[in-house]
Structure 1
Amino acid sequence: MGDTVRRPVGAWTPAVHQLLRHLEAHGFEAAPRVIGLDEQGREVLTFIHGSTDSSGDPDWVWSERALVEAGRLIRRYHDLCRSFRPPVDAEWQLMVGAPAEGEVICHNDLAPFNTVYDGGVPVAFLDWDLAAPGPPVWDVAYAAWRFVPFYGDSAGRGWPTDVTHRATRLRLLCDAYELTPDERARLPELIERRIRCALDTLESWGRAGKPGWARMWQERTHRDGMLGDLAYVQQHRGVLNLAVA
C-alpha cells in the first residue's frame, strides 16, 4: 500500500520489531523500517525499492558478485545485532529442531526470494518473521543452501551439473562472510541439519494447519524438493568438506 507493506502479526512480532528498530538505530539500511500497526492490527513496514528474484529467476541473482555481496551483507547484519538485547520475555517463532539460543538473532530465511537487489547485488533482506536466537553459522548454513544453492534439481537451471561448481561457490560464500576455521569445518554438516529443520518444521506446522504452511505441506512439491536437496548434500559431503577446509 503506497510505500508501505502491511502484514499479519503474531506473538513474535514485538520481538522482531524491536530487532528491526535496533538495526535502524545502528544505521543498517538492509532491512525494512517499522512504522507500527494499522487499524486492522497488521504490522506496517517500509517498502524497499529494488528487484527480487520472483520474476523469472534472473541470471544476475546467481552471479558470483551477488553471492559475495550476500555473504558480506549477512556478516554486517550479524555484527550489528550482536549488541541487541531482547527482553527476557521475548517470544520468537522457533522452528522445529532449531537452536533456541546463540550469539546473534538469526534471520532464518536468508534466500534470494527474500532479498532485494539493486544493480544486480543484494541490498536488503525481507520477511523477518522467523528471526530467533542462534549461532551465526546456523544462518550461514541456510544461506548456503539457498544462495549457492544446493538444489537437487539444479541441472534444470542450465548450471554445471557436477558438484565442483557449487563447492567453489560455497567457498566464495565462506570467504565473503569470513567464517572462522571452526565454523567452516562445521558448515557442511549444519547445511544438512538446516534442511532437516526446514523439513521437520514444514511437516509439523503443515499438519497443524498453520497459515501458509498447511498449503505448502498439502502440495508436497516443497517437501519433495527439500528431500532432493538433502540427498544432494549428503551425497557430496566429502567434496564440500574439502571445499571449505
Structure 2
Amino acid sequence: MKKVPRVIVVTSEKVTRPVKPWTTDVQRFLTYMTVEKQVSFVPKPMGIDDNGNEMVSFLAGEVFDYPLPNQLLSDTSIDSAANLLRKFHDVSADYLSQLTGNEKWLFKCHMSQEVMCHNDFAPYNVTTRNGLATGLIDFDTLCPGTRLWDVVYGAYRWVPVYSEEFQLDFKGKCSRLQRFLQAYGLEKESYPKVISCMIERLQLLIQFMISSAAKGEENFQNDIEQGHIEKYEADIRYLRENELRILSEIGVA
C-alpha cells in the first residue's frame, strides 16, 4: 500500500494535520470547549481521516508573524489579545475537573493547575479581523498550568518583549506590557513575578528545543540552526539586566 504523506492541509472548511501522541486529549478538550461550552473562538474537532490525520474546523481571519504589522501594534489590538486569553482561561478552568492525570501532553505539567494553558499564545497562533484577536488555533502545546505562566509568554510574544528594538523602544515595550497585563486582569500581586516567570518560561523553551532536536525532530533542529536559541538567550539576558526597570515602568514599587 502506498504511504500517504502526512502534511498540514488547509481549506476554507477544515485543517488536516498529522496525528501526534497528544491528539486524542487535545481533541477531547476542543470538544468540551465547542460542544459543552459552546465557544466559537477555538476550532471544532472533526476526528481522524482515513489517512490517520486529525481534522479540525478552519477559523477564518488573518494570522501574522514578525515583524508585526501596525494594526497589531495598536492599543485596541493588544487589548483584544489579552481579553481573548482571559476568556480562554476562564472557560477552560472548568475542564480541570475532567482530567484523569493520564493525559498525554507535549509539555510536562510541572506547576499547579489553575487553567488549561495554550502555551504558545502568539500572533502566529491567533486569528484576527481588522487587527482584533478573534480566534485561537494550534493546540499542540496545550496542558494544565497557571494563569501567570500563559500570560507572561503571551505578553512576551504580543508586546513583543524582545531584546532587539526593531519595532518598539524600551518605553514602548513597557507600556504595551502593562496594557496587556491590565487588559487580561492579572492580579497586581503577580506583577513582581512577571519578568522572572518570563525568564523561566524561555529557559524551559530552550531546554525543550535542545532535547527535541536531539531526538531527531527536524522542526526544532531547523529552529536551532536558524538561531532561535541565541535569540532566546539574548532575550533572557535583556530581561535580567532590565528586570527592575521594567517592573518599575509597569507599576511595581
Does TM, scored on the shorter chain, surpass 0.5?
yes
Q: Distance in 2 between matches of 1:57 and 1:185?
A: 27
- Which residue of the other structure, out of 101, 104, 108, is the alignment partner of 1:88? 101
What residue number does 1:49 align with? 60
- 1:196 partnered with 2:203: yes
Map Cα deviations across residues 8-42 of structure 1 (whole Å, 9 max, x no partner): 11111111111111111212211111011111111
- 1:240 partnered with 2:251: no
Per the alignment, in what secondary structure is the counterpart of residue 82 of structure 1?
helix
| CA separation of 1:55 and 1:152: change in aligned 2, threshold 3 A | closer
Give the number of the structure with larger relative contact order, counting CA–CA contacts within 8 Å between residues 6 or more apart. Answer: 1
Per the alignment, in what secondary structure is the counterpart of residue 55 of structure 2?
strand
Q: Which runs of 5+ in 2 are unaligned?
A: 1-9
TM-aligned CA deviation for residue 56 of structure 1:
6.6
TM-aligned CA deviation for residue 244 of structure 1:
4.4
User: Percent sequence identity over matched residues?
Assistant: 24
Q: Distance in 2 between matches of 1:54 and 1:169?
A: 18
Q: Which runs of 5+ in 1 are unaligned?
A: none
What residue number does 2:181 align with? 174
What residue number does 1:186 align with? 193
What residue number does 1:120 align with? 131
Q: Distance in 1 between matches of 2:128 and 2:112?
A: 30
Structure 1 stretches of 4+ moved >4 Å? none
- 1:31 partnered with 2:38: no
Per the alignment, in what secondary structure is the counterpart of residue 127 of structure 2?
strand
TM-aligned CA deviation for residue 220 of structure 1:
3.8
TM-aligned CA deviation for residue 105 of structure 1:
1.2
Contact 2:111 2:146 (8 Å CA) reproduced: no
Q: Distance in 1 between matches of 2:201 and 2:58?
A: 29
Aligned length, in residue pairs: 238
Q: Distance in 2 between matches of 1:244 and 1:5?
A: 42
Contact 1:141 1:190 (8 Å CA) reproduced: yes
Q: Distance in 2 between matches of 1:93 and 1:210?
A: 13
